[in-house]
Structure 1
Amino acid sequence: MANVTTATGRQEDQLAAVGAELLAASESLIPVPPLRDRVPGMTLQDAYTVQQYQLHHHLARGRVLAGRKVGLTSRAIQQQLGVDSPDFGYFFEDMVHHHGAEIPASHFIQPKVEPEFGFVLKTTLAGPGVTRGQAAAAIEAVYPAIEIIDSRITDWDIKLVDTVADNASCGAIAVGSVPLPVSVDALGSVTCDLLINGEVRESGTGGAVMGDPVIPLAWLANILGQQGVPLEAGQLILPGSFTKALPVVAGESATADFGALGALTIHFTD
């Protein structure tokens, strides 16, 4: 389990410089070379320090935190990106879209989509020590969701430290307005198809998300709890993808289809 700490001295300056570089890349849409090649001995703790640097930068400028995402929770995604453990990131209110949204593909560098659940919390979760049962009890509603992942690292050439530093490759979030009519305990058996332009391209079940999609929620609460950071009531939490991610371009639509339970579609424009 990651322990997010703050670096000191010369190392802190180096990590802050990398964080500033990623912030600039998110504005210019010009990706940067892999960080692991340029920060000698870069650790997972270093990578989360870079992520925190960017979070603090955005919050200081008035952006409002809407929730958190857990990534790399399915074996398909881990194999696709060549990593072997989950990670987490954050997103702001201005990054959240809804069903039918038209989203400019030009706002991203190299976007891909993932079908997910979206958990809205009714109570605060403050780790460490949060159990699966406590996490499940904190979920007010489950919505269809799509994460648009994007990488500020050139050509998606990433290892774990690269994606963690780059806010777990988060680009934007889409979430439905109508909850899925399903109990929390049944989430592992829910099936979701990922469609591009109406064609099924990938399929998976909730069980692909760490065996039980509630487990990543407890995992996240406990990791953040080590730093004294709770998951707040009302926040939206994405626990991870059912399938591997698929690239999208302008003119394409993406749908997370949960069958009789509901669906969510977004459209990518120029």
Structure 2
Amino acid sequence: MEGLIMNQTQTKAATSLTTKQAKFAQELFTAYSTRTPLNMADWEGTVQDEATAYLVQERLTQLKEEKVAAYKVSLTSAETQKMFASTSPLYGAQVASRLRQSPTEVSLSELMEPLVEVELEFRAVQELKSTDSLTELMEKTTVAAGLEVPDSRFKDWFPTLSKYLVMSDAAVGGLVLYGTEKPTTDVFKTPEELAQVHCELRCNDRKLKEGVSAEVLDNPLNSLHWLVTKLEQQGHPLTVGQLVSTGTFVLPPKLTAGRWSAKFDHGLGNVDVTVTK
């Protein structure tokens, strides 16, 4: 059944895009593969609505020829929505090779213009549905501390890249780094507690940012529920085993060489990464 759904999705993406939009997806893949950035001005206006942007993203994902292992949710705060002229979140599919467990190492040479965000990561251990309550989502997931590395296939992209180009570019997906996973209900007793997670982001032992999970649609579980509902509406629901990076607590700084650490409370621990040139 999963293969049938994927084939239907591939056919839809291939037949619904214009010649220029299909070329856009190919150019995004080339930029992804060669780390040669595109110019925004060359592609502005190519995609002018959400449905088409997600079709371009689907085609880009197909070209990667890897399993979709995760999704990232972006624009989960009023501040970031305003920056990208949006009134709702958006998502990007993340392939398996882009997920890494902490502690780990990352080379800037494998990225383009990366930023760094602190997030909560949820993994579906049972089927998640749009009808699930926040408590039910807790019962069906694991949770882990997360450090996401947004990265774009466009030159000088942050914060000027338009919303539809962001969506087409897999929500500017780069890497998703995650810590120790635990059953969500072992860490949190109520959904409300998930709005109270504090994180401190440090580089070379210097504090750069700190934030709280309430910045993520008031509660990261709301972000997870939004994604589950969105994917269900689009006909390719989240599957058991997939990870969801639910949105940043802080406005992201640039990722630079050094020792990075995101330190979470509530017993979630740290995400540690050494970034080299």
TM-score normalised to structure 2 length:
0.85
Cα pair distance change 1:34/1:84, threshold 3 Å: farther
**Structure 2 residue 95 is matched with structure 1 residue 125:** no
Unaligned runs of 5+ in 2: 1-8
Corresponding position of 1:182: 187
Unaligned runs of 5+ in 1: none
Name segments (4+ residues, structure 1) moved above 6 Å: 7-10
Counterpart amino acid of residue 150 in structure 1:
D
Corresponding position of 1:150: 151
Distance 1:111 1:217 in 2: 24
**Structure 2 residue 73 is matched with structure 1 residue 67:** no
Distance 1:66 1:9 in 2: 25
Cα pair distance change 1:35/1:218, threshold 3 Å: farther
Counterpart amino acid of residue 151 in structure 1:
S
Cα pair distance change 1:216/1:150, threshold 3 Å: same
Contact 1:122-1:234 within 8 A present in 2 as well: yes
Alpha-carbon distance, 1:230 to partner: 1.8
Q: How does 1:198-213 map to 2 (within 5 A)?
A: 198-213=205-220
Distance 2:178 2:31 in 1: 26
Contact 2:73-2:246 within 8 A present in 1 as well: yes
SS of residue in 1 equivalent to 2:48 = coil
Alpha-carbon distance, 1:82 to partner: 5.4
Alpha-carbon distance, 1:96 to partner: 1.2
**Structure 2 residue 175 is matched with structure 1 residue 169:** no
Contact 2:90-2:171 within 8 A present in 1 as well: yes
Cα pair distance change 1:40/1:171, threshold 3 Å: closer
**Structure 2 residue 201 is matched with structure 1 residue 194:** yes
Q: Deviations over 1:64-110 (max 9, x none)?
A: 22111111112343355554431101112211112221111111110
Contact 1:126-1:229 within 8 A present in 2 as well: no
Structure 1, 184-193 or 167-176: larger mean CA deviation: 184-193
Distance 2:234 2:181 in 1: 33
Query: CA RMSD, aligned part only?
Result: 2.5
Cα pair distance change 1:41/1:150, threshold 3 Å: closer
Match of residue 28, structure 1, among 25, 34, 38: 34
Distance 2:17 2:241 in 1: 36
**Structure 2 residue 136 is matched with structure 1 residue 134:** yes
Q: Deviations over 1:127-162 (max 9, x none)?
A: 4x44434333322x2111111100111201312111
Corresponding position of 1:230: 237
Alpha-carbon distance, 1:37 to partner: 5.0
Contact 1:73-1:210 within 8 A present in 2 as well: yes
Distance 2:82 2:202 in 1: 21
Distance 2:273 2:80 in 1: 21
SS of residue in 1 equivalent to 2:236 = coil
Contact 2:21-2:56 within 8 A present in 1 as well: yes
Distance 1:151 1:219 in 2: 23
Distance 1:73 1:234 in 2: 23
TM-score normalised to structure 1 length:
0.87
SS of residue in 2 equivalent to 1:27 = helix
Distance 1:19 1:35 in 2: 16
Contact 1:188-1:211 within 8 A present in 2 as well: yes
Contact 2:92-2:171 within 8 A present in 1 as well: yes
Corresponding position of 2:252: 245
